Every structure is written in structure tokens, then in C-alpha cells.
Structure 1
């Protein structure tokens, strides 16, 4: 299927570091309203869009979680020469930051550059060391007095990488996890016959500890849970077959486990069965390092939830640019829609 690339670009280009998701949230609230029965925003900032089920005498609830935030930084210091020091919000591979542009979101947005010690003046020992986050500073090209007109301690920082298309793929700074926001919005737009009540939840602060999912699952108390998030596609030169996790273009991924969750075997079986019946291309996913909102959805209702996840294969994850395949994104929309329309037909007792 083709996807709405323009909508995906709009979502991905928005800034939204953990705890600073307002621009993403405002867009979602406006965009989702025509397709659901109610929209709520909780105290933490999660958006909960509710679409009532058509065959739901027992008032079953399905929570679908897609986190709004992206990995970013926060300003911790402005030195005497106007250079910024920062702390990470989420996990980064430091070596990918060298000479990259960022956006400091102060009183106005300012472009900065990740600076570090030039290789020309490094000692032999320094050249051999692995880069650390603390090796970097942000250069705004301004004197301190000018910087302080716009920047304060505590201002968020995001990566500066515009969304582009590359062959059959899309590439930008925040595929993780804006692609899941897109998938959830597109599913709600197309979903005309949900079986049970759908609580489409756009969560905050996933990248710093699944915080939004924990709170929203406690409030929703779902019977079933489906998380939407990216996963590693290590299908590149040098990767052994067992290291790939997933591959681009091989379909949406059905999570079996990650570092924070062992998915319910019934949900995994239901997802596989539905994908096969609908002719949706899929691949299994086991991610031994890294957690997702699946854990929050699964554990934080009063009785827990029968939970699993749809994962979107992504190359260069948690780097300055990330890349996903359009066909995998489309397959993820198709699978989520099919699950929500047929979840009442599966035998959940076995």
C-alpha cells in the first residue's frame, strides 16, 4: 500500500524531546479529533483518543500505545564564551554526534553544532579512545551575552535533520517514534468497525523510562494492549544473520520479546494468525536490549493486560538519522487495523 508521505513528514519534523512534547501533542489532538469519539489529555501530557467498539457487551478495552517523544538533550550550562553543555534525554551513541547540527528550543529556535576537540590537536592516545557524551559541547556561533537573550538552563534540544525520501525508504531524525504516531493516526482514520473500545494513547517520556505508558495504562486499565514502536534493522554490511533482529522491506515485525517485556503468547499467536489470514507481510522480532511501552501497557492495569507489540524495522536507530521502509510502515497500518477489527473473534482462553 502507499502511505501519506506528506503527513509522515509533518509529524517527523516536529520537535518533541522527552518532557517537551507539546508541539507533537497539539498536532495530534487536532488531527485525531474527527476520527474518534473522545479525546483526553492527562496531567502528564498523554493524549488518549477513544473510539468505541461495535460489538462490546463486556466493555473490553484495547490500549494502543505510540510514544510522541524523541531522543534529545537539555541545556545544563552556558559557559563564559557562549558554548552550551547539555545532558542527554534518552540513549545516544556518542560517536554519531560529531559535527552534527542541533536545534536549541529557547525563546526562539537556534541552530547549533555539536563541537568536540579537533583530531589535529588530539594526542595519539586521545585518538584511540571511544567518544563520550561529555566530550561534546554546542556551538551557537554567538557570544554569551547574545546566547543568554534566547537560551536558559533547562531548554530542550533536538537533532536537526529534515525528513527525506530515499528510494523505497524514508529518512529523518525521529522515525523513532513518530512513525508509530503516524501509524496510529492512519489506523484510526481507516478504522470503521472496531470490535472493542480502542484507547489510542500517544504517550510521553518513553525514551527516559516508559513514564507516560505507565501512567496511562494505570488510568485506562486495559484488557488488551498493543504497543507501536521502532526496532533495530541491522541488515547492513558486516551483520551476521543472527544479529539482524529485523530487515527493511521484509514486512512489519511482531514482537516476541524485548529487554522489558515477554509478550503474551496469545497476543503473539493472534498477531501471526491475523497477518497470515490477511496476507500481510511480517517478520518475528526478538530485541534483547532496549525496552518499549509494551511493558507499561502490559503491567500497569489492575489485572495486567494481554499485551504485545507491532514493531517497525528501522536502520541507524538512535543515531542522527533513522530510516524505515514505506512498505513496512504500510503493513503495520494494515495489521493494526485488522487486529482491532477482529480481536473479539480470537479464543483468548488457550
Structure 2
């Protein structure tokens, strides 16, 4: 399906060409015009229904970022192990033993490793791992690795798209291919609209909202809405007062995050629409992250 295709197509911040191509093809099916700006944002425009005697339609920009977090190759050591730098934010302790794909002259598989626990000192065992302590093993010596991989090549996580209990999805890049998917599916359902809709799949959100900043100046919308993911905090170890949003609790309407405070009139409008259409929703205050809305 489309969500699976979006999630499995690689495209970290700054290297979005592959996913850009997929999204462009999908937006061409549901909008009147598609363009790609100099930074790489894909902008699909669905024109308002023309009404004689009416003023020019308002512009509504919907943004969902296409880039995913990943890594950049920084060094290949004498034994062929690949060192890397993060592109976007990672929790290092989740990376050990993860499968990855290194995108060099061809795509090759690898696994993230570190010094085995069996030979760690007591002091080392007490410390949390750092990115600089990790490496990628692709099963080759340096002479072979260097023919395929060089510094600057990008790396993505290798995760299967999987359904849990036939209703929950686990996959890489759901942040924010899920938002891109929702944007495309919503456009499929719109027949006549009375505003010009600018559906923007943005680049480089994970490294500073760069695509949204550029595209918002280009579009100059009257209203902007960012589609992104949030956390499911209904898990063991979370205190009641720390629970922001829950899995299955409904669409999250963001009130505030680390980059922006949402417009109250727009929040109230979204709440009204949800309630009138019996759409389950919850509100979200998340100070540990931000979205394209901050642009």
C-alpha cells in the first residue's frame, strides 16, 4: 500500500531524491499542478472552485516533511568498519545491533555494533553509549568497502513494515511519512474546494525546519497546518501527569511544542470540525520536540 511504499523508500535530510520522486508521482494524481523548488520541497496545488464575483481564494498550506532521520558516513577504518555521524536526533542506546542500509554506489546491508559487554570494564558498563562509540559492520575489508562507500554517503535504518494486531503499524520513517500519507489521502477525498490548497512535502525538517521555512515564504499562505507525528506516552514507566497523547486516543491537535504556540482560533476551529464530524481527537503539549509549524 501507499504508506508501506512511503516508509520503505529511503530519504534522510539532504538526500531526499528517492522519496521526492515517489511523492511527486502521487501528488500529480490528486492536484492540479506540482512543482519542486530549489531546495527540494514538492509542492502540489489544488485550485479552488472558481466563483464569479468572489474575491481571490485564500491560500491554505498543508506541510508534511518527507525526510527521515539517518546517518552520514564519516570515516572507514583500516578494518573496513564504518564510522558515522547522525543526521537528525537519535537516542544512541536504541541503535546497537540495528540493521542498516548504506547507500553508496549500490545499497549494501550492515549492522550497528559497539564494544561487546563481555569485555567492558565495570566503569564502562555504567555509561550510556555514545554515537562516536558505534560503528557499522558491512562484512567486508576496507579495500572492498572503499570501492562502494565513501564519506558523505547516507545510511538508513533497515526496518520491515509490520502490522501488529492488524491495526497498529511499526516501520521506519513513520516520522513523517505518516503525515505525507494523510496529506495525500485527504486530497483524494476533496472534490470541490473554496480555497487554494498547497500540499507541501518538505525537506530537511529533522535538521532545522529548512524546507518549511523556504516553502512558506514561497507560498505565502493565509493559513498553515503542519501534519506530523507525536509520541504515544501511555507506556510503562510514564507518570500520569507525563502522559501527553495515547495510542488510539484519536488525532492529536497540537497546542504547543518547543518551536511554536498554535493559533488559538485555528485550534478551536479544528476542535469544532472534529466534534461536528464525531472524529476522535486529543490535544497535545510536547516540549521535547517541534514540527514544521515552527517555520
- TM-score (normalised: structure 1): 0.82
Q: Is the 1:275–1:281 Cα contact (8 Å) retained in structure 2?
A: yes
Q: Note the alpha carbon deviations across 1:315-344, whole angstroms, 9 max, x for none.
A: xxxxxxxxxxxxxxxxxxxxxxxxxxxxxx
Please state how far the C-alpha of 1:40 moved relative to its aligned partner.
0.4
The residue correspondences of 1:10-89 to structure 2 (distance < 5 A) are 10-54=5-49, 57-89=55-87
Please state how far the C-alpha of 1:59 moved relative to its aligned partner.
2.8
The separation in 2 between residues aligned to 1:245 and 1:227, in whole angstroms, is 18
1:125 to 119, 123, 126: 123
1:135 to 124, 127, 133: 133
The residue correspondences of 1:250-329 to structure 2 (distance < 5 A) are 250-296=249-295
The separation in 2 between residues aligned to 1:169 and 1:289, in whole angstroms, is 24
Q: Is the 1:232–1:244 Cα contact (8 Å) retained in structure 2?
A: no
The separation in 2 between residues aligned to 1:121 and 1:195, in whole angstroms, is 66
Q: Note the alpha carbon deviations across 1:65-93, whole angstroms, 9 max, x for none.
A: 00000110000111111111111000000
Question: Which stretch of structure 1 is more off in the superposition, 177-186 or 239-248?
Answer: 239-248
Q: Is the 2:65–2:179 Cα contact (8 Å) retained in structure 1?
A: yes
The separation in 2 between residues aligned to 1:219 and 1:172, in whole angstroms, is 32
The separation in 2 between residues aligned to 1:221 and 1:102, in whole angstroms, is 39
1:160 to 139, 158, 169: 158
The separation in 1 between residues aligned to 2:241 and 2:67, in whole angstroms, is 30
> What is aligned with 2:191?
192
Please state how far the C-alpha of 1:151 moved relative to its aligned partner.
0.5
The separation in 1 between residues aligned to 2:240 and 2:208, in whole angstroms, is 30
The separation in 2 between residues aligned to 1:148 and 1:9, in whole angstroms, is 32
Q: Is the 1:100–1:113 Cα contact (8 Å) retained in structure 2?
A: yes
The separation in 1 between residues aligned to 2:244 and 2:126, in whole angstroms, is 30
Q: Is the 2:57–2:194 Cα contact (8 Å) retained in structure 1?
A: no
The separation in 1 between residues aligned to 2:83 and 2:109, in whole angstroms, is 15
> What is aligned with 1:246?
245
Q: Note the alpha carbon deviations across 1:17-45, whole angstroms, 9 max, x for none.
A: 10111111101111121211100000000
Instruction: Indicate the SS of the match to 1:283.
Output: strand
The separation in 2 between residues aligned to 1:155 and 1:164, in whole angstroms, is 27
> What is aligned with 1:102?
100
RMSD, aligned CA: 0.9
> What is aligned with 2:149?
151
Instruction: Indicate the SS of the match to 1:261.
Output: coil
